[in-house]
Amino acid sequence: PLTLPEYLDFVTPGDAYLKDIVRRVGVTDNSERDAQALLDAVTNSFTYSRDIPSNYVKRPVQMLVDGADDCEGFAVFYQSLLAARGIDSVLIHISGAQMSKPVAHMLVGVAGDFGREGGTKFFLDADGKKYYTAETTTRGARIGVLSPEYLGKIFDVITAGSKVIVAMPVAA
């Protein structure tokens, strides 16, 4: 099985196909708007599958070809797009044991100020930065909106330096 920091080995922001997606989605002077547009592109363009073999992580280009992946693949793909756009982000891991499920879940934390929009938004504090949660497997997901099943759970935040920080989501 992969260690949590090893998932970062699959993040490929320099990939020409990913840079093209970022360009097509559009780059503005507002990184929060761009981060949401990239999340919309991911959640509306691919099929979420819970049936991908355990501990097999696809590179983003493989997800482009297959058109489907599990939560780890979606998170790695989205984080790759964010990095290609120059937006700071982290991978977030929630163990299955906490959710009384046989498998874990992975999502992305996006740096920025997403708490300005209406409604309650959730973020994790890691290394002095606020990373707002982004559920990559749900169509129409909004950055900062967290499924109730994850509230009160402990998250492992995997930073760019392969550091794993334990954190709980906080309402903005």
Q: What does the pLDDT profile of the chain (172 residues) look like in tens digits?
A: 788 899 999 999 999 999 999 999 988 888 999 999 999 999 999 999 875 655 678 899 999 999 989 999 999 999 999 999 999 999 999 886 666 665 688 999 999 888 766 677 899 988 889 999 999 999 999 999 988 888 888 899 998 888 898 888 888 7
CA neighbours within 13 Å on the CB side: how many for 168? 7
pTM of the model: 0.91
Token output for 18: 């990913």
